[in-house]
Amino acid sequence: MVFEIRGKHALITGAAAGIGLAYAVELMKNGLAAVVIADIDAKNGAEAATMLNKTYGANKAFFIKTDVTKAEQMDAAFALAVSKFGKLDLVINNAGIMNDANWELEIAINCNAVVQGSLLGMKYMGKNNGGKGGVIVNIASILGLQELEGCPIYVGTKHFVVGLDRSFGSPYFYNLTGIQFLTMCPGVTDTPLISEANRFALKGYPDLGKNLAKGLGALPPQRPENVAQGLIKLITEGENGSVWVSEGGQPIYEVEIPERTTLRKN
């Protein structure tokens, strides 16, 4: 299915700043009709909506303070989008953290909230529920495709997203809902994580923070704008269930995940 961005309506979690805001800007540049920004950061979220409205026209962006770990707040964000736009076409579950030191919250944001956002996307956009279908993009990480000893729980949450999308991105769910599931795996993107690695590493393991800083430092950095430009290609060209990587400021590329039966070690 070819997805045309122009004239469509979107909801993006975690879009008050950083990559999420870059997604909103790039989508607007490509003709998005309007967006709801759902983020816990009220100050930056309101400022982001104001900036988008000043740049792209009135009533292009709406902000709602949202703790993505709270089901009722997520539902309220989706309800706001539908009340403002009459429909939703695109959902980007972007909110995420790297913080193995607070792994309960990390799992709640990186896993539970992505499931909640996906289910709400299907509820409001699914053809089986009276919608017209659409696209759900869930944001994983290149660490959803590899290991990194410095942040094992974070790595696990991002592998979860890849598996979730590949399963939801099946013919059964698409034929029922008309919704494509796509996965974006950004690399290291303009982040203070390297300098603050000790604060985010799992506690009680000597030098793990140093290992995390070293592991992240070995990965090629990029700016949010590169990921956002890649998002456009992902949305407009990506096949249902596909997984894409954006890293090092290079063009986005699709990855092929081998069948399990080919992975047997001899």
Instruction: Pick the closest to residue 45 from 99, 91, 109, 94 (CA basis).
Output: 94
For the cut 90, the answer to whether the pLDDT of residue 195 exceeds it is no
Tell whether 242 is covered by a domain.
yes
Active site residue ranges: 154
Tell whether 205 is covered by a domain.
no
The per-residue pLDDT of the chain, averaged, comes to: 96
% helix, strand, coil for the chain, step of 5: 50, 15, 35
Q: Number of structural domains, the chain?
A: 1
Tell whether 132 is covered by a domain.
yes
Q: Are strands 90-93 and 243-246 parallel, antiparallel or unpaired?
A: unpaired
CA atoms within 13 A on the CB side of 158: 28
Task: Give buried/exposed letters for 238-261 (b at 16+ CB in 10 A, else e).
Answer: bebbbbbbbbeeeebeeeeeeeee
Tell whether 204 is covered by a domain.
no
Alpha helices, H only, 57-102: 71-85
Within the chain, what is the greatest distance between any pair of CA atoms?
Answer: 62
Tell me what pLDDT residue 197 has.
85
What is the rounded CA–CA span in Å between residue 249 and residue 224?
9
| Structure confidence at residue 198 as a pLDDT band (50, 70, 90) | confident
Domain residue limits at 258: 9-189+222-262
| Structure confidence at residue 245 as a pLDDT band (50, 70, 90) | very high
Tell whether 211 is covered by a domain.
no
What is the rounded CA–CA span in Å between residue 161 and residue 120?
16
CATH of residue 18's domain is 3.40.50.720
Tell whether 226 is covered by a domain.
yes
Interval 144-172 mean pLDDT: 98
Q: pLDDT, tens digit, for every residue of 201-244?
A: 999 999 999 999 999 999 999 999 999 999 999 999 999 999 99
Tell whether 213 is covered by a domain.
no
| Structure confidence at residue 167 as a pLDDT band (50, 70, 90) | very high
Tell me what pLDDT residue 246 has.
98
What is the rounded CA–CA span in Å between residue 129 and residue 255?
32
For residue 220, how many other CB atoms are within 10 A of its CB? Answer: 11
Tell me what pLDDT residue 232 has.
98
Interval 168-189 mean pLDDT: 98
Map tokens 């706001």 to a residue: 80
The mean-pLDDT minimum among 18-32, 116-130, 192-206 falls in: 192-206
| Structure confidence at residue 192 as a pLDDT band (50, 70, 90) | low
Computed on alpha carbons and rounded to an integer, the radius of gyration of the chain in Å comes to 18
| Structure confidence at residue 194 as a pLDDT band (50, 70, 90) | confident
| Structure confidence at residue 266 as a pLDDT band (50, 70, 90) | confident
Tell me what pLDDT residue 191 has.
64
Tell whether 96 is covered by a domain.
yes
- The type of residue at 239 is E
